[in-house]
C-alpha cells in the first residue's frame, strides 16, 4: 500500500516539470537562495567596494540610496536578475562593471542577508537565467497563495 502511494506520487512528480517547468523551479528570496558563507564573502567585498558610498551598515547617505529599508519596496515585484544586472553594470558608481559575476552574486547574497532574507543550502548562482526564477517578494508568500499566484501569471 505504502509503495503504491509512493509510486503514484513519483509518477505525479514526474508529470509536473513536463507541464510547467517554470512554475516548478520558481523561487522566492524567502526560500533560502544563498548560503551564509557566500554572504560573508559578499560582506568583505561590499566593505571593499560599496560601503564607502552606501555605508558599512547599508543605510546610505544623503547622496547615496540605502540598500535596506525602502530599498525593499523599491525592488519588490522584480526578479533577482534585475538587481544583479543593475549592480553588475552600474556599480560601483565610480568603476561600473569592474567586479566579476561571482563577486556580484556574493554581494547580492550579502544584501539579501542584511535585509533578513534567510540563508539556505545552495549558493546564489551568477547565472541570470537562474536568478530570473527568483522573485523579489517584500513579504513572504504563503504556500497556497504562491501556488495560486503562479497559476494566475500564466
Residue number with CB closer to ligand HEC (52 or 148): 52
Distance CA 94, CA 109 (A): 22
Question: Whats the size of the chain, residue-wise?
Answer: 154
Measured between alpha carbons, how far is residue 56 from residues 53, 93, 128 in Å? 9, 16, 27
Instruction: Tell the smallest beta-carbon distance from residue 100 to ligand HEC (Å).
Output: 11
Which residues form the interface with ligand HEC (CB under 6 A)? 49-50, 52-54, 63-65, 67, 71, 74, 86-87, 91-94, 99, 107
**Which neighbouring-strand residues pair with 134?**
27
Distance CA 23, CA 106 (A): 26
Instruction: Tell the smallest beta-carbon distance from residue 16 to ligand HEC (Å).
Output: 34
| Long-range contacts (CB closer than 8 Å, 24 or more residues apart) made by 16-24 | 20/154, 22/133, 22/154, 23/150, 23/151, 23/154
Instruction: Tell the smallest beta-carbon distance from residue 108 to ligand HEC (Å).
Output: 8
Instruction: Tell the smallest beta-carbon distance from residue 111 to ligand HEC (Å).
Output: 7
Amino acid at each position: 500500500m505504502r509503495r503504491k502511494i509512493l509510486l503514484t506520487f513519483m509518477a505525479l512528480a514526474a508529470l509536473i516539470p513536463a507541464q510547467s517547468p517554470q512554475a516548478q523551479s520558481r523561487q522566492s528570496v524567502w526560500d533560502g537562495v544563498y548560503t551564509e558563507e557566500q554572504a560573508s564573502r559578499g560582506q568583505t567585498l561590499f566593505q571593499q567596494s560599496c560601503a564607502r558610498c552606501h555605508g558599512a551598515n547599508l543605510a546610505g547617505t544623503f547622496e547615496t540610496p540605502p540598500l535596506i529599508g525602502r530599498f525593499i519596496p523599491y525592488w519588490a515585484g522584480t526578479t533577482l536578475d534585475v538587481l544583479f544586472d543593475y549592480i553588475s553594470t552600474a556599480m560601483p558608481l565610480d568603476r561600473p562593471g569592474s567586479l566579476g559575476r561571482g563577486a556580484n552574486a556574493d554581494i547580492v547574497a550579502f544584501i539579501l542577508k542584511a535585509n533578513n532574507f534567510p540563508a539556505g543550502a545552495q549558493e546564489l548562482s551568477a547565472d541570470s537565467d537562474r536568478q530570473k526564477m527568483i522573485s523579489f517578494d517584500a513579504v513572504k508568500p504563503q504556500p497556497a497563495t504562491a501556488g495560486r499566484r503562479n497559476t494566475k501569471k500564466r
